[in-house]
Structure 1
Amino acid sequence: MSAVDDHTLAAALATEAGDLLLVIRDQGGAIGDQQSNQLLLRRLAQTRPDDAVLSEEHTDDRARLGHDRVWIVDPLDGTREYGEPSRDDWAVHVALAVDGRPAVGAVALPAADLVLHTGAPPALPARPPGPNRLAVSRTRPPACVDHLVGRLGAALVPMGSAGAKAMAVLRGQVDVYAHSGGQYEWDSCAPVAVAAAAGLHVSRLDGSPLRYNEPDPYLPDLLVCRPELAGAVLDALRDL
């Protein structure tokens, strides 16, 4: 795979890790995280040995700050959902940040048999009539959600992982995914890359750009939404 382009590589790695996670799902999330992480690190060392890597499941090597190209991966996004065999709202994230920008990304939704990636971003489906639909965490709704519900008259759609929620916007299942209160670069880099490639609005909640490969990988807030709703959502968030 060392000869393929970065978009194809990201998609292939997310697919391979997702396939592995399906096979070992009955062993639980801790084993899934560990084995998926080992696979991704091994493949990246083989195929992109000169690039740095930042992974949720690996000690942060600060040498990455001296690299223009940094792969940012979440080997298993949505451990809780992964542990519930009937659920498909968990993901694998594989992204490449170039000069701090999310340039390449793939989000695998293995239990839904789907990989969305920047090499071939899908077209955004038409929005159906009705209230705006807002993706929200099943267990930890962020502070911004109640605010947006009141301002936008939005209907809540609970679901699992950050990647699943961001890709739900791209798949036409929801219209807005807004998060506040704590995430890290690996939670959003791949979903943001894919969403942006497909023409969605992506930013911090204040509208500022999302930057990656920062000294502190904590990146607490995120907005992914349909482009025609971005102005109204950002206006609503300014009152937060």
Structure 2
Amino acid sequence: MDDTELAAYLAAEAGKILLEVRASGEFEGKALGKAGDETANRYLVDALRKYRPDDGLLSEESKDTKDRLSKSRVWIVDPVDGTREYGEGRGDWAVHVGLAIDGTATKGAVALPGLDGGIVLRTDSPASGIKYAATPRLVVSRTRPAKEAVKVAKQIGGELVPMGSAGAKAMAVVRGEAEIYLHSGGQYEWDSCAPVAVALANGLHCSRIDGSPLLYNQHDVYLPDLLICVPEMADEVLERVRALAAES
């Protein structure tokens, strides 16, 4: 398997494992989230060490080792993006398997196991025929919508669409269910690497909210904000975010 095929296969298989853990009925709530995280992480880490032993690896659920910093190729994974949604039995959670090459999110896949019988979006299969709405839809956190997103939506006459995990929100833009994902509430590299790789492969704009590039495999893996949107809206959104920052 090439890199994208491997990412898609692993994301899909991890998704199946997570659904089996949830269906077992042995766990619920936070305990279910913890069991799912641990089980999926073990599978992904073992598989990547088997299939790509020379590459670096960064996972939310494993202790970080800085030897990855000397690697050009680093797999960045989130076994369950949206642990809360997964534990609550919702569908808006994801599995992220991304590959950063020289600091750029380059290849990968995002699985949405809880939607439509299981969906995997990947960097080698960009969607076609996607139609975006005339009225911008901004996907935001169900519980803590970014203040910038709320203000920008009001300024451009947009509609807020509450949703769960970062991966689910990013893939909503890829799938044409929203036009903008503007986040400023704090994230880490594993929250966005695979989604950004897939979004870029689909021709979407991806950056920090100040317009600077998203960099991966950094010493500090905190990557607090991002913008994923249809390209024709990027300049306006970035300009409005800059204006809001200047006012504060």
Q: TM-score range by the shorter chain?
A: over 0.9
**48-57 vs 145-154, which moves further:** 145-154
CA distance in 2, matches of 1:61, 1:197: 29
TM-score, with normalisation over the residues of structure 1? 0.96
Q: Deviations over 1:186-236 (max 9, x none)?
A: 000000000000000000001111000000000000000011111111111
CA distance in 2, matches of 1:43, 1:20: 14
* Structure 1 residue 94 displacement after superposition: 0.2
SS of equivalent to 1:189:
helix
The answer to whether residue 133 in structure 2 is matched with residue 122 in structure 1 is no
Moved segments of 4+, more than 3 Å = none
Partner letter of residue 103 of structure 1? T
Q: Deviations over 1:130-188 (max 9, x none)?
A: x2100010011122122212221211000000000000001111110000021000000
TM-score, with normalisation over the residues of structure 2? 0.93
Corresponding residue of 1:50: 54
* Structure 1 residue 237 displacement after superposition: 1.0
SS of equivalent to 1:121:
coil
Partner letter of residue 111 of structure 1? G
Q: Which residue among 7, 11, 16 is the counterpart of 2:13? A: 16
CA separation of 1:29 and 1:237: change in aligned 2, threshold 3 A:
same
CA distance in 2, matches of 1:96, 1:77: 16
The answer to whether residue 153 in structure 2 is matched with residue 149 in structure 1 is yes
CA distance in 2, matches of 1:8, 1:197: 14
* Structure 1 residue 37 displacement after superposition: 0.3
Corresponding residue of 2:74: 70
CA distance in 1, matches of 2:124, 2:11: 13
Q: Identity across aligned pairs (percent)?
A: 58
Corresponding residue of 1:215: 219
Which ranges in structure 2 are unaligned for 5 or more consecutive residues? Answer: none
Corresponding residue of 2:97: 94
CA distance in 2, matches of 1:9, 1:90: 20
